Amino acid sequence: MARTKRPTARTGLARATVLGVILASAMTPPGALARTIPAAAPGADAAEGAAVLVGAGDVASCGLTADEATARLLDGISGTVFVAGDTVYERGTPTEYADCYEPTWGRHRDRTRPAVGNHEYGTAGASGYFGYFGAAAGAPSQGWYAYDLGSWRVYMLNSNCAQVGGCLRLSQQTAWLRDDLARNPRTCAIAIWHHPRWSSGVHGGSYAMRGFWRALYDAGAEIVVNGHDHDYERFRKMDPSGTWDKERGLREFVVGTGGASLRSFPTVEPNSVVRGTTHGVLRLELADTGYSWTFVPVAGASFTDSGSGRCH
């Protein structure tokens, strides 16, 4: 099916500028990219001393309009925007970023910290993705990085294991994750990547993510946020084996609700406590010793989820 081009007020010159930036960045040698990711300012609407992290995965397509509705939610929420992969469909080309992502979530690009999904690798080396987001996406040969947000350490990981030399315990990425957790100890830490370890959605969970989960659990991290399945799901705190661990477990959110077509839940996994099929964004308020979450639905929808937790 031919891709439907989204009508926008963008001039041909502006579109050409976006494409030019993407293509120029994609041709930049990895070593030339800045590796220090600046932290965005905490949200002004957060509780005193807290920072706001807001976003979803599975976002933009020229043939759909739900990403426009979720982008309007971001318009009214300050803080740092995350994208949990599959930023644009179908193949993450420079043209798709210019025509499909830029008019909606692209207006928040300056405050966005993305994670790469599988659809971005529909273009060799995910070059459209790395070209569009530039240094904020990490080195093109890796696609993982970390930054500080308030008192929290935030890890953006690359779950496309075959593209980056694996994700298990002895992989370069997991070794980096363990090293950064040790070098930058925090009371509270969160990790965001695309493919969930556990999911009741159509794709289900990925056993390949167990190396990430073990490293984060051993270091005492708090939250994991994923996309890939086009739904919203929250799990109880779990240890690396998927057993409920009220004291030390990681709380996982699947938030593939940024704009792609929504899907059902074929089989409910153990420890899944909340599920919904509504477009929207997850707003996390990150304080020094704890956090709260709210799923914010698009206008006209009523499903939501909220709660809070303390860092251990």
CATH of domain 42-310: 3.60.21.10
Residues 6+ apart with CB under 8 A from 207: 197
DSSP string, 139-150: -TTT--EEEEET
Helix-then-strand count for the chain, H and E: 6, 13
pLDDT for the residue numbered 5: 43
- What's the pLDDT at 236? 98
Asked whether the beta carbons of 212 and 219 are under 8 A apart, the reply is: no
Burial class (CB in 10 A: 0-12, 13-18, 19+), 108: middle
Q: How far apart are CA 201 and CA 214, in angstroms?
A: 22
User: Is 295:282 a contact under the CB 8 Å cutoff?
Assistant: yes
How far is the C-alpha of 135 from the C-alpha of 25, rounded, in Å? 9
Q: How far apart are alpha carbons 247 and 238 in whole angstroms?
A: 9
- Sequential DSSP letters for 112-162: EEEE--TGGGGSGGGHHHHHHHGGGG--TTT--EEEEETTEEEEE----GG
pLDDT of residue 3: 45
182 CB-near residues (< 8 Å, 6+ apart): 219
Taking 70 as the pLDDT cut, the residues of the chain under it are 1-45
Q: How many residues does this entry show for the chain?
A: 312
Give the pair of three-digit tokens for residue 256: 């593939």
Query: What pLDDT, on the 0 to 100 scale, is given for residue 19?
Result: 63
pTM of the model: 0.89
Q: What one-character-per-residue DSSP string does 235-300 give?
A: E--B-TTS-B-TTTPBEEEEE--SSSPP---SSPPTTEEEEE---EEEEEEE-SSEEEEEEEEPTT
pLDDT at 45: 55
Q: What is residue 17's predicted lDDT score, i.e. its pLDDT?
A: 53
CB 13: neighbour CB atoms within 10 A?
Answer: 7
Q: Domain spans of the chain?
A: 42-310
CA distance 254 to 200: 9
Q: Residue 4: its pLDDT value, please?
A: 52
